[in-house]
Amino acid sequence: MVKKANQRLKGLILKQVKPSASELILIALKKMANAPFDVLLKYSEIRNQLNQSSARTAIHRLKKRALIYGECRGAKLVFMLTEDGEREVEKVKSRFEKTKPKQWDGKWRIIIFDIPEKLRGKRDLLRRELVGFGFKQLQESVWAYPYPLPQEFRDLWQATGIFKYCVIFEVDEDKIENAGMLK
């Protein structure tokens, strides 16, 4: 029962915090209009977060929902957004723009964690969340982020039992030597 509740909470939080595979594809298509499929897969946000199988599945679902369509151009398959796809991209972008403040407060949030090997799955989940949300990795278990941490992160970490392995610092940029490496 607790495991199912944690999975549901994780699903809700992931949906709020991190774009789905389909959302990543939509955003990439908006940025790279008329790009062939193989070029699309090399787009950094997709390459870093999706494997080829997940990308293909997402594209299939988007075509089924009539958000994208594909056409052959020579030997290349090119995908484009439909009008509904364009509207969906705007919804996705507005959802994620709300999570980041318009103005930076000059503070960095540094997260350090030491999660035991027996909790590797949860540690990997944490790393995926950090990457997906735009944290910068400084060392294997040291990450930096320029905005206040969303409450969803803390809720997820507490629900999965990993919060007790994390230390979070909030540091003014002018107090950090060599702060340029964070940007």
6 belongs to a structural domain? no
The per-residue pLDDT for range 58-69, each reduced to its tens digit, is 889 999 999 999
Let me know if residue 1 belongs to a domain: no
- Asked, for residue 24, whether it belongs to a domain, the answer is yes
> Would you say residue 157 has pLDDT above 90?
no
pLDDT at 53: 85
Higher pLDDT, 165 or 30: 165
Q: What is the dihedral of CA 79, 27, 132, 170, to 10 degrees?
A: 160
**Count: domains in the chain:** 2
Tokens of 36: 């062939």
Q: Which domain holds residue 153?
A: 107-182
Q: Is the per-residue pLDDT at 111 higher than 90? A: yes
Q: What is the CATH number of the domain that holds 63?
A: 1.10.10.10
- Verify that 75 and 51 share a domain, yes or no: yes
Q: Is the Cβ–Cβ distance between 182 and 126 less than 8 Å?
A: no
**Are 61 and 34 contained in the same domain?**
yes
Q: Do the domain assignments include residue 85?
A: yes
What CATH number is associated with residue 160? 3.30.70.240
CB 118 within 8 A of CB 107: no
Give CA–CA dist 83/68, Å, rounded: 9
